[in-house]
Amino acid sequence: MKLDKIVCHCKRVTNGDIKTAVEQGARTFAEVQEKTGVGRGCKRCIDAATRVMEDCIEELQA
């Protein structure tokens, strides 16, 4: 995963920002949103951001 890739253009949130939120304990989209602001604009990124979050959680648990 490219950490500097922007997943949410409205709020300029990158894959790396989501990864950091997961590393800090976020386990639901709401918690990731709380920490990053992801998906608070047009909401078109929500599916993609959710997948990134799930990948990061899986990675941590591997």
Chain contacts with ligand FES (rule: CB under 6 A): 8-11, 39-45
- Residue written as tokens 């920490």? 35
- The answer to whether 16 touches 36, Cβ cutoff 8 Å, is no
Residue with smaller CB distance to ligand FES, 54 or 60: 54
Residue with smaller CB distance to ligand FES, 18 or 22: 18
Residue with smaller CB distance to ligand FES, 43 or 51: 43
d(CA 24, CA 60) in angstroms, rounded, equals 11
d(CA 8, CA 49) in angstroms, rounded, equals 7
CB of 62 to ligand FES, least distance (A): 27
